[in-house]
Amino acid sequence: MAATELTLHIDALTYGPYGVGRKDGQAILVPQTAPGDEAEVRIVEQKNNYAVGEVARLIRPSPLRQTPPCPYVGECGGCPWQHVQYETQLGAKEKSVEDALRRIGKLEGFERLPILPSPKEYYYRHRIRLQADNRKRLGFHRASSRELVEIGSCLIAAPEVGRRLSQAREWIKVLKTQIRHVEIVQGNVDGAVVLVGKAEGAFAVEDDPACTGFLQRSGEATGLILFGRAWRRSWGQAKIGLLSEDGFKIESDGEVFSQVNREANAQLARELLQWGEFGNQDCVLELYSGAGNFTFPIARRAGGVTAVEGDVRSVENGKANSALHGLTNIHWIRSHVPAAIKQLRQKKEHFSKIVLNPPRSGAKGLEDDLAALGAEKILYVSCNPPTVARDLSALSRRGYRLTRVRPADLFPQTFHIETLAEMARI
């Protein structure tokens, strides 16, 4: 494209921090735009089959726009859709899921159920991760950059989490250990808030008394955790209490992964349990189980659950909570998932139902072993439409049919979307 500036009509939001329009048949991706915008756009990057632009001037703003309430919009890369009305965000997320399944997965004949909106559009994150730099500033990265944008507040953080931002900043200033990022994590049972620092290198021994003293002085956070490669230290009460969708209490170490949007996660869990129709006759395999977000409510309904997870501390937490509540029908396996299911296949194990919730990279290469385990139903939870489309397509060539899909919004103001998909054996 010869011209470096052009007038562009934005047609839709695309999966990513962009609005998209077309000029002479070429897609042009432009951040901070909304469907219906007419803008003067400057091309900043030319690719083979698309271009990336930036807004030089907004000629006619879309009626679907809203004024972002956050003062860091345009700098911080964390909420790239905050300028778009929430209903429009939801529609774009539904479309991104359906487009990926049909275009990438070549899947047809399934029911796409309406998206589950988040109960909260703001103040929903019960854990946030703040990047740290060598000047001991805390914030988020600028969009498409490693440059730090220091923040003093965050409108998607839960109130108790947001109130600890200044405390987290004070904490890293007393540390000698070099910190890569800090998480502020809140439980939803007893109000516990834990500060978690991930270190670049070794633990500085001076930080032991420094953290003890800081915790005593601050009187706000209930616990502190520092960890690095092959080491971990904690001070105070470093666990949080979490309630599952059916009121089951789980105790979790602060650094162990838990869903950031607890209310929306509960909605998704209820949907999964309804679709699974788990009963005493079911022998369930759960892959990428974490510390038990879905495991425990499934185990309270099913005959037995084999839960596979690679993270050591997540499995330790899972086992401890199983023992605490007397759940003896969960078999925890600490293993890399591909190795575990290959071994289960070699042992000729069979399961009535399989639940998996892989990372963003998906479950590529697992389809043969999954199909060999004989499950009548596979429930796949994903946070990445392109990889779930790829994986479901692979399963559809191995004796399964995609029957229904339900998007769920766990991440308002962003393009990220969770998806629950059901595959039934043909």
Return d(Cα 347, Cα 350) in angstroms, integer: 9
In degrees, rounded to 5, the angle at the alpha carbon of residue 327 between the alpha carbons of residues 236 and 350 is 125
Alpha helices in 326-366 (DSSP H): 337-346
Alpha helices in 277-384 (DSSP H): 295-299, 312-324, 337-346, 367-372
For residues 189 and 237, the answer to whether their CB atoms sit within 8 Å is: no
For residues 386 and 392, the answer to whether their CB atoms sit within 8 Å is: no
Distances in whole angstroms, Cα of residue 406 to Cα of each of 111, 190, 243, 352: 9, 32, 23, 22
Burial grade of 303 (CB within 10 A; 0-12, 13-18, 19 or more): middle
Tokens of 381: 């939870």
Return d(Cα 228, Cα 203) in angstroms, integer: 8
How crowded is residue 408: how many other Cβ atoms within 10 Å of its Cβ?
26
For residues 255 and 184, the answer to whether their CB atoms sit within 8 Å is: no
Is 383 catalytic? The answer is yes
Return d(Cα 96, Cα 70) in angstroms, integer: 25
Return d(Cα 365, Cα 263) in angstroms, integer: 33
Long-range contacts of 36-40 (CB under 8 A, 24+ apart): 36/9, 36/10, 36/62, 36/63, 36/64, 37/9, 37/10, 37/61, 37/62, 37/65, 38/7, 38/8, 38/9, 38/10, 39/7, 39/8, 39/10, 40/5, 40/6, 40/7, 40/8
The residues carrying an active-site annotation are 383
